[in-house]
Copies of this chain bind each other. A is one copy, B any other.
């Protein structure tokens, strides 16, 4: 939408946050770039839509939403007296816009599997650096914030930390699109309570209950949605498809094939980036459609599973599964399908889903009291979050083709 007279500005309609305003030439350049537009074709929640059919929103909308919250957070911090220059504002906004640019097809589900050994944040950085060369260094500051080498760490903490705008957006958004209303968080209140102290991002005392609830909402979203046993089974099907396809060198179109046939990645070259930015969720799904009649029965069966929602059977529980029982299941499947020991792990396997409610060590939440004292959220009197909350909780699962 154009605007009469005033400097160029676009407004984007976001069902979660309302109108998002874009108003700087560098922002337009980044958003208009094919690398960024590609995020339209990557689902934010991978295959969660097989359980929550509304959850089909894209990474593009998530990163626009996080950008919007970044704008609000910066405004609030400035209003409270934090010194943030115009350039720093733009850079922080670019950093959040691009924080997920390195996500490949089906994001977390296939993380490290397509470009073997490369985590999405490493790839995000590589892509930002390539764009920076294209843009003649205009992204220097954004990259410095992203890498946390800038001398105002609170800017990095807004991009990546326990209270970053990334998390605030994806919890709200995933909740909105999946319909799991319980994931809703009071992000507007939390943003109003943000404060900078000693160059660190903190929250005011009166935000304590909102933070507790934020952590609880996150915990709930993990176990009820992201690690829901059926979502897990769907994503494991995907993982096993890609592994099997690589193993038997299954035919597919050349962009994808290049990655399946490549050895583990030691260095992210410009060429890799270029090809990486040409594939997205659709490339995977098209290959799956091709493979549903593949001569490799295991691959074919798994592909049919994703395509027509006939997933692994699955169980999830707090304790490990009885080993004898698992062995019997495996033997039965081996018999039933007449598969070799090499193929069996594609048809039945066990694993563990993990989540941490609060990690004090790596991503602390600091509460700033009116008298200037600072406490970690796990240390406050009568709080729900304590040192136990830092422990990683695991739940055991088993998946098998019936």
Chain A residues in contact with chain B, CB under 8 A?
A: 1, 3-6, 11-16, 18-19, 32, 34, 37, 40-41, 49, 51-54, 56-58, 60-61, 64, 79-81, 176-182, 184-186, 188-189, 192, 195, 204, 206, 209-210, 212-213, 216-217, 219-220, 223-224, 253, 278, 282-283, 285-286, 289, 307-309, 318-319, 357, 370, 381-382, 384, 393
Contact = CB atoms under 8 A, between A and B. Distances in A.
Given A49-B40, A219-B209, A384-B384, A182 B189 contact: yes
A213 B180 CA distance: 12
Given A12-B53, A40-B53, A309-B37, A81 B206 contact: no
Contacts of A16: 54, 179
A179 B81 contact: no
B212 A13 contact: no
Contact of A209 (B206, B223, B307): B223
Contact of A309 (B32, B49, B186, B217): B32
A220 B209 contact: yes
A53 B49 contact: no
A56 B53 contact: no
Given A32-B309, A209-B224, A283-B286, A186 B182 contact: yes
B37 A179 contact: no
A143 B96 CA distance: 46
Given A181-B184, A283-B289, 9 more contacts: A13-B51, A15-B177, A37-B308, A54-B61, A56-B57, A182-B186, A212-B216, A213-B213, A213-B216
A372 to B, nearest CB: 9
Contacts of A58: 49, 53, 56
Contact of A5 (B3, B32, B61, B81): B81
Contact of A34 (B13, B186, B282, B307): B307
A5 B286 contact: no
Q: Which 4 A-B pairs have the closest CB atoms?
A: A15-B179, A182-B186, A318-B381, A13-B179
